[in-house]
Amino acid sequence: MSTPAAVGDLYAARGLGGRLTPGSRPAVLVVDLINGFTDPDCPPGSDLDAVVTATRTLLDRARAAGTPVVFTTIAFAADGVEGSLWLRKMPAMKVLVEGSRWVEADERLGRTEAEPLVVKRAASSFAGTGLAALLTALGADSLIVTGATTSGCVRATAVDACAAGYPAFVVAECVGDRAAGPHEASLFDIDAKYGDVIGLEDALALLPDPTTGRAAS
């Protein structure tokens, strides 16, 4: 994440950008890494191959450690009534219809039937969904966030995670967007106000060691 030094210094001087304390029972949240976003041939999609690869590395470690993994998807009913205002702003997403392959998790991530899939029709993974209740049932006390897009659903999820009391750690290599500008600006904004933006190695260190059950950090 690159930000002009003057902006970073200004924010720090004003008291923004505090650091969060990792929880002892994180869950990995995979926000909308669905075919409709990871396939450039789909109208709302883009090339997120590197994001998918990095996320799979994180997921493999989480699965080995027994850390809960939760996926989200955007899937609109055929009538398009729920979410119609969002679709007016982003008509490209009209292809994300329930039952289509576009709303399925990218198969390269290896999602299993044991890993919940939260269906949403808004940007935030918390908005109008049962995610908060699910996290409570899983015993999660913090979130390691991956997904797409950084400026849209990832950022909205980080904002609502903060409001819900879940420390969110957004993994820089595991989130992506359609353009570099919105991606970088959103990472800076999240890190300054709502969650911590961390690297993949730091994210792996938040997970329990499969052999000891304790976090690597």
**Residues annotated catalytic, as ranges:** 153
Strand segments (E) across 114-189:
117-120, 142-148, 168-176
Six token digits for residue 9: 């210094």
Closest CA to 171 of 207, 209, 117, 129: 207
- Longest Cα separation, the chain: 50
* Nearest residue to 35 via CA among 123, 97, 107: 107
Task: Report the DSSP beta bridge partners of residue 32.
Answer: none
Whole-angstrom distance between the N-terminal and C-terminal Cα of the chain? 22
Cβ neighbors of 114 (< 8 A, separation 6 or more) are: none
